[in-house]
Amino acid sequence: MEKRYEGKAKVIYPGPEAGTLRVYFKDEATAFNGQKRGVIEGKGAINNRISATLFRYLEAQGIPTHFLRLLSEREMLVREVKIVPLEVIVRNRAAGSFARRYGVEEGQALPYPLVEFSLKNDALGDPLIYDDAALALGLVSGSELARIKELALQVNRLLKDYFAQRNLELVDFKLEFGKLLHPTDERGAIVLADELSPDTMRLWEMQSGEKMDKDRFRRDLGGVEEAYREVLRRVEAA
């Protein structure tokens, strides 16, 4: 099948029906805007299952997503969307680039969840972007931006609880949203897209603070595969 698009962690193919796409999850991992590369053995299959479980859970809680169903160990079927070119980051604690940017300690609690946007543009290194710039550049409309923020905060509340019940703290995560474009779908509606996995979120063991996400790869902490597998086990636990 002809590729529609190949990213760092996933490959997108046309789906079996009009308006659908097949997403294939790869084991390849990159960090620091592609400067660090590696393979996390089994990651593709793990992230496919973690994402599917979390998309299903969010759908059941009323969040519209692009997810339709699992197709195989490494593939899911999704609704075709036009991706909004913003990375939407939600933060419950200071970590990563936020902690560096503002010179605060990683792990510092935040009084309420923050929503932050980056422009999706690898050549520019995904620069931080503020609301007015996103609007002025025509990346989204005002009502779309408001809807994206509302959904991002709802997803945060739901996932934070979901992980807390599994003894994991959701520190921060990145979401991508898309607009439905197929005639049989509600055209223009904003839905959650991309993936939900330890590649795109920080998860810390509740008591010890041990990192259970891609920071193990970024920071050469070892035990990367084991952490991903443990997150899958807990995500799938009832």
Q: Which is nearer to ligand UDP, 22 or 200 (CB)?
A: 200
Residues 1 and 221: their CA atoms lie apart, in Å, by 37
Residues 168 and 35: their CA atoms lie apart, in Å, by 29
Q: Which is nearer to ligand UDP, 121 or 165 (CB)?
A: 121
Minimal CB distance to ligand UDP: which residue? 96
Residues 48 and 197: their CA atoms lie apart, in Å, by 8
Cα-based torsion angle of the residue sequence 96, 97, 103, 108 in order, rounded to the nearest 10 degrees: -40
Cα-based torsion angle of the residue sequence 214, 215, 221, 224 in order, rounded to the nearest 10 degrees: -10
Residue 185 Cβ vs ligand UDP, minimum distance, rounded to whole Å: 26
**Residues 9, 89, 191, 196: which binds ligand UDP (CB under 6 A)?**
89
What token pair was written down for 12?
């997108």
Q: Tell how strand 10-14 and strand 5-6 pair up.
A: antiparallel
Instruction: Give the total of residues touching ligand UDP (CB under 6 A).
Output: 14
| Per CB under 6 A, 174 contacts ligand UDP | yes
**Residues 14, 85, 96, 113: which binds ligand UDP (CB under 6 A)?**
96
What token pair was written down for 26?
């790869």
Give the contact letters, 110-129, x = binds to ligand UDP (CB under 6 A), - = no: ----------------x---
Residue 87 Cβ vs ligand UDP, minimum distance, rounded to whole Å: 6
| Per CB under 6 A, 202 contacts ligand UDP | yes
What token pair was written down for 146?
């408001």
Q: Which is nearer to ligand UDP, 75 or 172 (CB)?
A: 172
**Residues 173, 177, 217, 228: which binds ligand UDP (CB under 6 A)?**
173
Q: What is the 3-state secondary structure (H, E, C) of 19-44?
A: CEEEEEECCEEEECCCCEEEECCCHH
Q: Which is nearer to ligand UDP, 98 or 163 (CB)?
A: 98
Binding residues for ligand UDP (CB under 6 A): 87, 89, 95-98, 126, 172-174, 200-202, 214
